[in-house]
Amino acid sequence: MNLKKKLLNEKVRMYIYYLLVPLFLLIESEFSLLPRSSWLGSYILILAANSVTFSWMSEHVKLFKIHKEYFWTYTSILLITTLSFPLGYTLLGVYGLPVFFGVLLIYSLMGTESAMASAITLSTVAAIVGNGSFELFAIYTIGSIGSVLLTKRLVKRFDFSKASLWNSVLSILMVLSISVDFFPYSIQLKSIVLMGLNPFVSMILMVGILPYVEYISRIYSNVGLIELGNLSHPLVKKLSVKAPGTYFHSVVLSNMCESAAQRINVNYVLTRVGPYFHDIGKIKRPEFFTENQRGVNPHDSMSPMMNYLVIASHVKYGEELSKSHRLPLLVEDMIREHHGTKMVSFFYQKALSENLKVSPDDFRYPGPKPRTKESGIVMLADSCEAAVRSLKSPTPSKIRNMIEEVVNGIYNERQLDNSGLTLRDIDEIVEEFSKILSSMYKNRIEYPKNSQEVERVIRVAKM
């Protein structure tokens, strides 16, 4: 048990990664288990490239600090990619190494920074396969990183093809420039064809394996999230039947969060899909939540502490459903974090009115507080939509004032400290929420109720 704890320790895990992963990458690049004298230099080269890029990425990609699954998935993709190098080299030579397979897979799951880091590590291994060829390192690095930077976001399957096309173009240009500069008149058509086709073959393999990686790691690409958020998921369908009020609230939240995310330039696909599941735990006892009640309130016959436990339990049950249905880790975060550590103040005040000896901490949600901007947006939207829905005779000014009051309360309670949202982001979110909710909950005209009023309206209209 102690050994297991030590192995799971973060520092030990890092040391294992820095020392052992380069060794495995080296063995795969050398196509042999028998050590040779040249291994030491190659090992140091891979160790340096991998350590520097991973250290840089760990600082810039927050999710590596939040979920250990990102570490293991990233490492596994590097090892799986280099494991295929012998086959590519045997069949097609140095221009047939599927570097872009690993880079594109990591890009689709973890974003730009992780993909750039993996491109340098995998290109270093590819250069060692090519007997230390700097030209090969340059071709694979520039082709991979350039295609990642030129493809802003992978949202549709066509975006994968676009990234592959950029990789192909950049790689061919690199092959041509190196051939002209270093080996005049020795441009080989075979090399150009191989570098042109390599990214597309890698892309096809990546698309085929992507759903399996998503299911195992619970790290989803935007394409996987879009498929998940088509409202036909069993949990969402069950929510619409058992808790229709919560379902409607979740759909409204989805639109709010997506618009706010687009406005501050964060992952709008995640903020559209996550809200569908954020209250999924309310399936268990839907009648205890106001949006699903029809007259009778079961809370009236319960003690304040029991009221709180029932309300707070929807977070815990939602987390259990998320794990059993293997929802994405970031969606599960929204389930756990959309209330943060806020207090269920209504039942706390009820307990005080009954002269019970309680403290505010007895009535807080378990948390944690939102740890990403997307999760912070969901928390703000959840509180704002519920507050605005309670307004009588809502007007744009009333809605705006209510949203500002709610957001200021959450900010002052320091629920957003770990989310990464800046004050400017929060101002933009308030603007977007005000616009959306004002259009949804504005006062409607009162239609005439009898024939005399109808005739009067018609006469006025004709004047």
Instruction: Find the mean pLDDT for residues 144-149.
Output: 93
391 has a pLDDT exceeding 60: yes
Which residues are paired to 343 by β-bridges?
364
Which residues are paired to 364 by β-bridges?
343
Range in 80-84, 103-107, 340-344, 459-463 with the lowest mean pLDDT: 459-463
**335 contacts: CB under 8 Å, gap ≥ 6:** 277, 278, 280, 281, 315, 318, 319, 322
Tell me how far CA of residue 390 lies from CA of 288, 290, 377, 402, 435, in angstroms. Answer: 17, 11, 20, 10, 17
CA distance 327 to 223: 14
Residue of 113, 122, 124 lying closest to 148 (CA atoms): 113
**56 contacts: CB under 8 Å, gap ≥ 6:** 113, 117
CA distance 32 to 13: 26
List the structure tokens of 272. Answer: 């559209």
Residue of 82, 109, 116, 80 lying closest to 217 (CA atoms): 109
CA distance 64 to 374: 16
At 86-122, the pLDDT tens digits run: 888 888 888 899 999 999 999 999 999 999 999 999 9
Q: Structural domains in the chain?
A: 2-220 (no CATH), 229-440 (1.10.3210)
Residue 124, classified by CB atoms within 10 Å of its CB into exposed (0-12), middle (13-18) or buried (19+), is buried
Count of positions (residues) in the chain: 463
Instruction: Give one DSSP letter per residue of 285-300, joined into a string.
Output: SGGGSGGG-SS--GGG
Tell me what pLDDT residue 459 has: 56
Please state the pTM of the whole predicted model: 0.88
Tell me what pLDDT residue 162 has: 93
**215 contacts: CB under 8 Å, gap ≥ 6:** 326
Residue of 379, 346, 373 lying closest to 279 (CA atoms): 379
Tell me what pLDDT residue 332 has: 96
CA angle 253/254/258 to nearest 5° reads 115
13 has a pLDDT exceeding 80: no
Q: Which amino acid is at 205?
A: L
Tell me how far CA of residue 151 lies from CA of 54, 110, 160, 175, 337, in angstroms. Answer: 22, 14, 9, 21, 31
Task: Work out the pLDDT band at 58, boundaries 50, 70, 90.
Answer: confident
Range in 87-101, 235-249, 415-429 with the lowest mean pLDDT: 87-101
Tell me how far CA of residue 407 lies from CA of 342, 349, 359, 426, in angstroms. Answer: 13, 21, 24, 8
> No. of H helices and E strands in the chain?
22, 0
